[in-house]
Amino acid sequence: MGTVGASITTTVSPLSRTWSWMKDVSRVRNGVGAISSATRGAAAMSAEPGRGASNSRSARRSGRRSRGGGAGPGDGTRRRRDDMTLRDDGDRREGEGGGADGTDAPRGEVVMIDSHIHLDDLGIGPADLPAGWAGLIPGVLPSRTREVLAQWGADDRVRVAAAIHPWRLAAEDPALAEDPRWRDVQELVRTGRVDAIGETGFDRRRFAGDARGHARAVEVFVAHLALAREASLPVVVHAVSGPGLLLELLRAHGAGLRGVVHAFTGSSEVARELASLGFCVGVGGQVTRPDARRLHRAVAEAAPGTWLLETDAPWIGVDGAGRGSGRLSDLERVAEDVARLRGSSVRDILIENEATFRRMFPQSRDPNDHSPSAGGSASPG
């Protein structure tokens, strides 16, 4: 499948302002307060989120022409990486630190990328996103994916995936070849409407005591892997309580594929095995929990380029938050804890996260394609 717009073309803003606005968005979505006119104005000037992706792309093209060849890294000016700008470390203002103590957190322009977030369940639309944010919306049902595409299909800050989530499966479902939901997933993929397959997999906790339901989930997972191979798309994996089974299935059916095992809580050894098979581990709110020592070790020891940041908001929150209370702004806390575990700065963690996301999830759908299959029509499921 051809790749259109392989880079995430999004306007970036200073990290401190991005995080501040992300918190404001979260407060609004939770019914507390409102985004101040000053914050809204600053964000609108930098992102113009309500005007769609085409205007921002035109502005960037114009800006690149005016800059000419640009300056190289290390000269204290801006350097360009694909369609994003990133301020050099040397461009830090005197006395500008970052964290609460003014010494540690990053400054400059970076991109906050959430590799797994249910923006549709958060009730967040394109106009609500802060500048400098990008991410992936996983598929749960094809009908939901069509709704996501109707809202987000033209926004190249977002990757969109399609699948039947294992929680939406049951032993009494029709045979897969006869399941209209599966035919709809295939249609979305084969017409080039999505960027990834998933989230797909199995969940032994969900199907505890239901051997037929678990077997059904494994069967559908294997079918999703085959579809990903056919379409040359990455895979978003949901796998709970079964690292040995996951590795076995990926060795048998996932050769040559790439993707991410989201909400990873496993060991360093499993993470290394997954990396050898082409799969990153998604690090989310679980890493903020003090008792997640096995995960802490896995994150600390993971090789560069083998992990991605995520929130899984709203379904997984950070330490102290209940299930279903996750927020867009939780990515800040996750990034801070990953930076601490890896002995790095938050800024460097975000830069590495961006590079890995670009490599694993290049844009495959055409944001300018507004054909009827893009979304809006009712579909089974």
* Distance between CA atoms of residues 72 and 86, nearest Å: 12
Average pLDDT over residues 36-49: 29
Helices (H), the chain: 15-29, 37-47, 53-67, 119-122, 142-152, 180-190, 211-231, 243-253, 268-276, 293-301, 330-342, 346-360
Of 94-103, 106-115, 249-258, 340-349, the poorest mean pLDDT is in: 94-103
Residues 167-194: tens digit of each pLDDT? 999 989 999 999 999 999 999 999 999 9
Q: Where are the domains of the chain?
A: 13-107, 112-374
Average pLDDT over residues 61-72: 32
The larger pLDDT score, comparing residue 364 to residue 302, is at 302
Q: Is the pTM of this model over 0.75?
A: no
Neighbours of 81 (CB within 10 A): 14
List, in order, residues 6 or more apart from 1 with CB less than 8 Å away: 192, 231, 232, 233, 364
Three-state secondary structure call for residue 136: strand
Residues 282-295: tens digit of each pLDDT? 999 999 999 999 99
Average pLDDT over residues 320-333: 92
What is the token pair recorded at 258?
């790439």
List, in order, residues 6 or more apart from 175 with CB less than 8 Å away: none
How are strands ordered across the β-sheet holding 196-203?
Answer: 112-114, 133-137, 158-162, 196-203, 235-240, 259-261, 279-283, 307-309
Of 36-40, 176-180, 328-332, 350-354, the poorest mean pLDDT is in: 36-40
Q: Which option is the CATH number for 112-374: 3.20.20.140, 3.40.50.1220, 3.40.50.1360, 3.40.640.10? A: 3.20.20.140
Average pLDDT over residues 104-114: 67
Report the range out of 11-20, 54-63, 259-268 with the highest average pLDDT: 259-268
Q: Which candidate, 134, 157, 114, 110, places its Cα nearest to that of 16?
A: 110
pLDDT at position 209 is 87
Question: Does the pLDDT of residue 24 top 70, yes or no?
Answer: no
Distance between alpha carbon 250 and the CA centroid of its chain, in Å? 21
What is the token pair recorded at 142?
């094809």
* Distance between CA atoms of residues 227 and 218, nearest Å: 14
Of 13-22, 82-91, 175-184, the poorest mean pLDDT is in: 82-91
Q: Which candidate, 230, 140, 121, places its Cα nearest to that of 184?
A: 140
Confidence bin at 368 (pLDDT 50/70/90): confident
Q: Any idea what DSSP says for residue 193? A: -
pLDDT at position 38 is 28
